[in-house]
Every structure is written in structure tokens, then in C-alpha cells.
Amino acid sequence: MYSNQITPRINFIQQLSYERPGAAAWITGNPEHPGLSGLIKFYPTSYGGVLIEAEVFGLPNISEEGASNFYALHIHDFGDCSGSFQNTGEHYNPEGAPHPDHAGDLLPLLGNQGYAWSAFYDKRFTIEEIIGKSVIIHSGPDDFTSQPSGNAGVKIGCGEIQRAL
């Protein structure tokens, strides 16, 4: 039976459609993936967590018709996206938790012929805590097991998390 109750999903749809994010990261590709780009947005919620929306273009499987591949998505300690993103540090992990319980371990992107869109809720950090850090896209999926960071491959995309104006 259908219910007209307001659920978090209804509020999240409203936020994504009509509100400004609290922070965002413009993603650019590394030198081997210059066509990779995207925008990751972070919205504060009334539930005490953060709503995250990711839209990414130019993932490596763009030329493979019908291709679907997973790409790890993480928040890293530093927002320095220079070079091949070697200065972004480790996964954001203020609690010192083992992988995959770092606050910076996010849901993977599912790239479909080079494009990915995702929205999810996370309560392990606030927007204030991640300003100045980076969002990293890795070349492969996170295995959610290997220590210290999931064996997700090289960093192919990076964006510094900045306060939205």
C-alpha cells in the first residue's frame, strides 16, 4: 500500500533538485585520463549526515559499447590535486578505523560506457570536516578487504572539496 509519509528519500530528492550544496569538488583526470571530469556535491541534511551526489564523465570504459565497470570513490586527507595526485595522502580516517570503515570510504561509482551518476547518504563526517580534502576516483573497484585502502588501483581523478559559494 502506498503511503504519503515524508521519508528521508523525499527530502533528499528535494535537496538535490532545489538546494545548493554545502560543498563541492570539481573532478579532473590525471595525465593519462585527461577527458575524465565531474562534480561531486555534498549537502547537509536534517538527519545529521551528508547527502552526496556524484556525476562523472569520461571514465576509462567510455569506448567500450555497453561496458559497466566499478571505480572506487574515496575522500583523501589533502586537497592537493597536482600532478598524478600523489600528494592527496591516505583515506580520510579520523577514527583510525581499519578499511573499509574509514570515514573516507565511499560507495563505488558504477561507470556505464564512461558515465556514472550516484547519490547516497553518509553519516560518518560533516561538511565542515571535509573542506580542503580531496575526492579521488581510482582505476578499479575497492575490494573492501585489503589493508590499508582496498587495492583500488591508481588515482585517475581528483577534486579538492571546497565550500560552495
User: For 28, phi and psi rounded to 5 degrees?
Assistant: -125, 155
Amino acid letter for position 130:
I
Domains located in the chain, CATH noted: 8-163 (2.60.40.200)
Please indicate, yes or no, whether the overall pTM of this predicted structure exceeds 0.85: yes
Asked if 39 and 120 touch (Cβ cutoff 8 Å), the reply is no
Who's near 20: CB < 8 A, 6+ residues apart?
Answer: 164
pLDDT tens-place values along the chain, 165 residues long:
556 677 899 999 999 999 999 999 999 999 999 999 999 999 999 999 999 999 999 999 777 777 789 999 999 999 999 999 999 999 999 999 988 889 999 999 999 999 999 999 999 999 999 999 999 999 999 988 888 888 899 999 999 999 997
CA-to-CA distance for 123 and 131, rounded, in angstroms? 16
